[in-house]
Amino acid sequence: MKWPRGSVVPATAAALEEGARLLKEGELVAFPTETVYGLGGDATSDLAVARIFEAKGRPRFNPLIVHVASPGEVERLVTVDERARRLMAAFWPGPLTLVLPRRDDSPVSLLASAGLDTVAVRMPNHDVARGLIAAAGLPVAAPSANRSGAVSPTRAAHVAESLGARVALILDGGPCGVGIESTVVDLSGTEALLLRPGAVTRGMLEGVLGERLGAAAASDAPRSPGQLASHYAPSRPVRLEAREAGEGEALLGFGDTPAATLNLSPAGDLVEAAANLFAMLRALDRPPFTAIAVATIPGEGLGEAINDRLRRAAAPRPGG
Ligand code: TXA
Ligand code: MG
């Protein structure tokens, strides 16, 4: 490590190189974009993404935006249709995020998209952001670089105040030009939906698409499970606070759980557990199991977000 953890450093070539090295090691690096500063981690690593949620102190796993350095890079992450191609040609690089269907072979962490079958992608219009992503050679998951509940940072000093040593390195690229988060458009269904307004306006989008955008609730607001796409919850019933598996049940363990079918973290580490959560729920949501029993997860730190997601997976669902 060339600089102490949490250092704010001017985004020189040497600093970008160090940031890229840190990202490849699964560490978090804050970087400027044209909208706000992002808290970046390797989008293909469940562990790096779990560290993002831990650093932000978010009580929930919201899906994150995956940042790329060129439009072609999204082709192996998501399925790109004609509408997406038109919007990318018109507004990328720029403050526009597109929600697209996840490819079956997508390398993006399931935790990054909070278990959804869609992934949000964006190519920022900022040399430091693109330089860092290109040097790391990775898609980079990045929410705004602030603790949960605080306002989004538009200067490197804001990031340092909010996150400090929770981030390995803070690249200083000066103040952000746009200052509000990117527009988010959902193209995963037949109707294009505006999920979050931003600098690329409804009128600009409708002009390029040649169709009206549907309205959706602000996507930063908590959304009910019914509003979310499939893969949000396992299709099998989920039972919490389990000590052992019942008839037909798989047991998802935590800590010392000798009878576990799979264990979120044998060592009882909540970051590791968050990293494994979605992949393990999926792995157990199949025959021969008819239900999933989950061991007790402590409520502190990332445990809050893990329990939030498990409670919603265990809640009664419409249609059984
Ligand atoms: O300008 C920005 O977009 C900044 C910079 C760093 O790029 N990033 C940002 O990330 O604002 P975040 O995590 O604060 O906001 C991500 C937004 C949320 O509203 C989230 O619900 C939505 O994108 N989102 C992400 N993935 C989604 C998905 N698969 N489906 C629906 N909404 C999604
Ligand atoms: Mg935010």
**pLDDT tens digits for 71-103?**
999 999 999 999 999 999 999 999 999 999 999
Query: Percentages helix, strand, coil for the chain, rounded to the nearest 5?
Result: 30, 20, 50
Pull the structure tokens for residue 4. 């102490």
For 46-101, where are the alpha helices, taking DSSP H only?
A: 46-56, 82-91
pLDDT of residue 99: 98
For residues 151-155, give the mean pLDDT: 91
Which ligand 1 atom lies nearest to the CA of residue 116?
Answer: 29
pLDDT at 227: 42
Distance 150 CA to ligand 2 centre (A): 8
- Among all bound ligands, the one having the nearest atom to the CA of 232 is 1
> Residue 121 above 60 pLDDT?
yes
Query: Which residues, judged by CB distance below 6 Å to any ligand atom, belong to the binding site of ligand 1?
Result: 33, 35-36, 38, 62-65, 95, 97, 99, 113, 116, 118-120, 122, 124, 142-144, 181-182, 184, 186, 195-196, 219-220
Range 19-34 average pLDDT: 98
pLDDT score, position 312: 87
Chain-centre distance for alpha carbon 287: 29
Pocket residue to mutate for ligand 1, from 35, 56, 60, 64, most atoms within 8 A of Cβ: 64
Span from the CA of 6 to the centroid of ligand 1 (angstroms): 24
Across the chain, mean pLDDT equals: 92
Is residue 293 within 8 Å of 300, Cβ to Cβ? Answer: no
Mean pLDDT of 16-27: 98
Largest Cα–Cα distance in the chain?
Answer: 60
The mean pLDDT value for 249-262 works out to 97
Residue 317 has pLDDT above 50, yes or no: yes
Atom of ligand 1 nearest to the CA of 223: 21
Closest of 27, 21, 41 to residue 142, by C-alpha: 41
Three-state DSSP at 42 gives: strand
Q: For residue 158, give Cα distances in angstroms to 88, 133, 147, 179, 181.
A: 30, 22, 11, 13, 15
Rounded distance between C-alpha atoms, residue 266 and residue 285, angstroms: 20
Which atom of ligand 1 lies closest to the CA of 118?
Answer: 29
pLDDT(219) > 90: no
φ and ψ of 63, to 5 deg: -70, 145
Per the rule left: phi > 0, alpha: psi between -120 and 50, beta: everything else, 231 is: left
Decide: 267 and 223 in contact? Cβ < 8 Å: no
Phi, psi of 16 (to 5 degrees): -60, -40
| pLDDT over 80 (residue 242) | yes
CA of 127 to the centre of ligand 2 (A): 21
Residue 230 pLDDT = 36
> What percent of the chain is predicted at pLDDT more than 90?
84
Per residue in 182-202, pLDDT (tens digit) is 999 999 999 999 999 889 999
Question: Phi-psi region for residue 115, left (φ > 0), alpha (ψ -120 to 50) or beta?
Answer: left
Ligand 2 ion: residues within 5 Å (CB): 144
The whole-number pLDDT of residue 231 equals 38
Q: How confident is the model at residue 318 (pLDDT cuts 50, 70, 90)?
A: low
Is the CB of residue 272 less than 8 Å from the CB of residue 49?
no
Of residues 199, 187, 239, the one with CA closest to residue 91 = 199
pLDDT score at 162: 94
Percentage, residues of the chain above pLDDT 70: 93
